[in-house]
């Protein structure tokens, strides 16, 4: 699959959190996220492995009770079915890959 960035639209996930799916296949999906300063993604889990890269901003992941400050250039991988949450300290942009694809994020 090839997808032109200008054809993708951002969708609201939560208050202060928008995303667009850049591409997807049978085993992975790739999404870009914009998170506003002060946004909170509450504690949750899902069956998808989640691997990401911080482009800009600052936020803190809490993964199974342990906090990780994330800044530009940092990367992460969260195993499926792992409890995690996010606090956004600055407007942030990141990309994440989900495996298997996040069906709820597909166009």
- Copy the structure tokens of residue 36: 């506003």
Q: What is the DSSP secondary structure assignment for residue 62, as one 8-state letter?
A: E
Q: Over the stretch 13-67, which tens digit does the pLDDT of each residue have?
A: 999 999 999 999 999 999 999 999 999 999 999 999 999 999 999 999 999 999 9
Question: Does the pTM of the predicted model rise above 0.85?
Answer: yes
> So what's the pLDDT on residue 1?
63
What domain count does the chain have?
Answer: 1
Pairing of strands 84-99, 75-78: unpaired
33 strand-pairing partners: 19, 94
CATH number of the domain to which 54 belongs: 2.60.120.10
13 strand-pairing partners: none
Q: Which domain holds residue 82?
A: 5-105
> So what's the pLDDT on residue 4?
72
């Amino acid at each position: 699959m090839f997808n032109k960035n200008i054809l993708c639209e951002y969708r609201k996930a939560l208050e202060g959190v928008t995303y667009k799916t850049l591409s997807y296949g049978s085993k992975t999906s790739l999404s870009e996220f914009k998170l506003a300063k002060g946004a909170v993604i509450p504690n949750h889990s899902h069956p998808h492995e989640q691997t990401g890269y911080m482009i800009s901003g600052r936020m803190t992941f809490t993964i199974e009770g342990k906090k990780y400050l994330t800044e530009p250039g940092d990367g992460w991988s969260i195993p499926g079915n792992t409890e995690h949450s996010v606090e956004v300290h600055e407007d942030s942009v990141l990309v994440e890959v989900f495996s298997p694809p996040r069906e709820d994020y597909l166009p």
